[in-house]
Amino acid sequence: QKEVEQNSGPLSVPEGAIASLNCTYSDRGSQSFFWYRQYSGKSPELIMSIYSNGDKEDGRFTAQLNKASQYVSLLIRDSQPSDSATYLCAVNPFGNEKLTFGTGTRLTIIP
Amino acid sequence: DAEITQSPRHKITETGRQVTLACHQTWNHNNMFWYRQDLGHGLRLIHYSYGVQDTNKGEVSDGYSVSRSNTEDLPLTLESAASSQTSVYFCASSDPGTGYEQYFGPGTRLTVT
């Protein structure tokens, strides 16, 4: 079992709709969770961090964390063509200063 | 503004040559990381450092080395470049005080012919 799993996609969402991206992780002691956006040919860009159970909202982005079920999700409301990118989920395992990355979900917003 | 830079941005080299990729950060972060990214594999950790004079191997460290002589720089050296090392290389940095959020450099695209 991979430590951090994401559906590779591609996930296609109409413009203006809600895009939902999911990630599961195996280390139950993980403490910190991150979502990165990576445009083609560019480097990963941190867009959300979440550390406790529940929802965290930042503009059109909402991160959701459920430690009991070991999943973290990212919702993008009012999706725009500029949201088309690969989204990487990253997890900070317990007692570790490194991050473990998923392989990413490719999101395409259809105008 | 604080930033993390990498050089060169593109490099073509021949098999067997030694290559060094530079990474420089002005965040004053203790932690620095080198990743490679290949289709189908995602980001894979090569080496990392938690401070000056500290270096550690990641999951794909064979054929690579790093040294940390100051806080700002973590150069990555390919001892004898191989075609399997053709990839995009990213440097990142983080600090415990900011929840281990990692910030990435722009990347170096390396081609070994």
Size of interface A-B (CB pairs under 8 A): 45
Residue A1: per-residue pLDDT = 62
Q: Do A97 and B105 touch (CB under 8 A)?
A: no
> Rounded CA gap, B83 and B94, in Å?
30
Residue B97: per-residue pLDDT = 79
pLDDT one-digit tens code per residue, B23-47: 999 999 999 999 999 987 889 999 9
- pLDDT band at residue A96 using 50, 70 and 90 as cut-offs: confident
Of the candidates A109, A110, A94, the one whose C-alpha atom is nearest the C-alpha of residue A37 is A109
Q: Do A102 and B42 touch (CB under 8 A)?
A: yes
pLDDT one-digit tens code per residue, A14-43: 999 999 999 999 999 898 999 999 999 999
pLDDT one-digit tens code per residue, B48-106: 999 999 999 999 999 999 999 999 999 999 999 999 999 999 999 998 777 789 999 99
A56-72 mean pLDDT: 97
Residues A26, A28, A30, A33, Cα dihedral to 10°: 60
User: Residues A63, A56: contact at Cβ < 8 Å?
Assistant: yes
- pLDDT band at residue A94 using 50, 70 and 90 as cut-offs: confident
Cis peptide before B8 (omega within 30 of 0): yes
Residue A25: per-residue pLDDT = 96
- For B:22-81, CB contacts with A below 8 A are 31, 33, 40-43, 45, 48, 50
B7-25 mean pLDDT: 98
The β-bridge partners of A11 are A107
